[in-house]
Each structure stands twice: as C-alpha cells, then as structure tokens.
C-alpha cells in the first residue's frame, strides 16, 4: 500500500478548548486567517476524518471525501455522504486501505474522541492554531489528557511530535500556528 500521511488540525483557546460545553465552536475561536489556512490544507488532502457530530454540524459544499467515525457503522460502509467507519469493528489500516487504496493525505479536524484516537494511530503532523488570550470555560478540551491539566503541546510532544517555529497568522488576535511533526 502507498503511504498514508495523517495531519491533525485544531484551533484552541489558552485553556486547551476546541468547543463550548454544548460542543459547538464558539465565535471567539473563529478566525479568518485560520479558516483560510485550514481550507487550503483540506484542499491538499484526499480524505477528511471527523466524528459524526462534526459531520452533521459542518456542511460539505465542496463535496470533499469524508470518513465519519460512528458506532452505527458495521466496520466501513460507503454511504451517499461519505465513508462511515466504526474503529471498534475494523482497524484503521484496513479501513483506510478501502478509502485510499493508493495512499494519500488524511486531514483530521476532530472532535476530541477523533483526536484521541489518532494520537494512538499516529499523526505525521498536527497543525495547532492557538487563539491567544482566549478562554472557553467549561468547554471541550482538544485531547482527553488536557482535561487533567496537560497542555496540547505536552500531549503532542509525548506522542513523538516536535514543533516547527511559531508563526503568527493573525496579529490582531493574536492567532498563532505551530505545526508539530513526527
């Protein structure tokens, strides 16, 4: 099988949150520079892997190929809106071989359970955008380990990734981006 390259993407608050308590991305975490970067990255990917709630909450106007994690799948199933995968019934290597038989780039924009799963599978890169000076009290953390006070950077480092230099992508935020690589 050809090479599969896994890239994670998240914008987080200073308290490591990706969503509010209801699971929605709050306006304070929406940023035009980050959105433009993220869309360009999705354009470079062959498939986008996300959870069912994220799939339902985010339309797919460009009809990008999606792989949706769901316990309702019997392994890997092709449905009109994407590939539905149950990681509890079919290992990643088998599932992705069905979706990308010739290899390619995989974009992983979450949510938390998806981010945690791919920590174990292994990211080749994680694009961590930080909305600096922003807090989302009671929100959903990027990784489960962040709930226990671990920083996203510590979790990525423990997963064997190392940071590229920090880039400020929006000085008004400020909003910064660090790509962590294997």
CA distances from 130 to 43, 99, 158 (A): 22, 31, 19
In the chain, domain spans: 4-181
pTM: 0.96
Q: Are strands 162-163 and 47-51 parallel, antiparallel or unpaired?
A: unpaired
Q: Any idea how long the chain is? A: 182
Task: Find out if CATH 3.40.50.150 is the number for domain 4-181.
Answer: no
Residue-wise burial string across 104-140, b where 16 or more C-beta atoms lie within 10 A, e elsewhere:
bbbbbbbbbebbbebbebebbbbbbbbbeebebeebb
Encode pLDDT of 32-69 as tens digits: 999 999 999 999 999 999 999 889 888 898 999 999 99
Encode pLDDT of 135-172 as tens digits: 999 999 999 999 999 999 999 999 999 999 999 999 99
């Amino acid at each position: 099988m050809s090479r599969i390259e896994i890239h994670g993407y998240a914008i987080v608050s200073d308290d490591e949150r990706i969503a509010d308590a209801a699971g929605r991305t709050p306006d304070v975490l929406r940023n035009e520079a980050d959105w433009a970067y993220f869309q360009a990255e999705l354009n470079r990917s062959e498939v986008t892997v996300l959870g069912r709630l994220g799939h339902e909450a985010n339309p797919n106007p460009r009809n990008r190929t999606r792989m949706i994690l769901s316990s309702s799948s019997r392994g890997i199933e092709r449905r009109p809106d994407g590939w539905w995968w149950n990681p509890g019934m079919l290992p990643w290597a088998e599932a992705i071989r069905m979706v990308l038989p010739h290899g390619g780039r995989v974009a992983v924009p979450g949510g938390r359970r998806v981010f945690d799963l791919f920590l174990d599978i292994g990211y080749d890169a994680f694009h961590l955008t930080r909305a600096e000076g922003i807090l989302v009290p009671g929100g959903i953390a990027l990784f489960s380990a962040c709930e226990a006070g671990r920083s996203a950077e510590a979790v990525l480092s423990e997963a064997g990734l190392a940071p590229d230099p920090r880039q400020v992508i929006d000085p008004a935020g400020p909003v910064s981006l660090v790509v962590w690589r294997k």
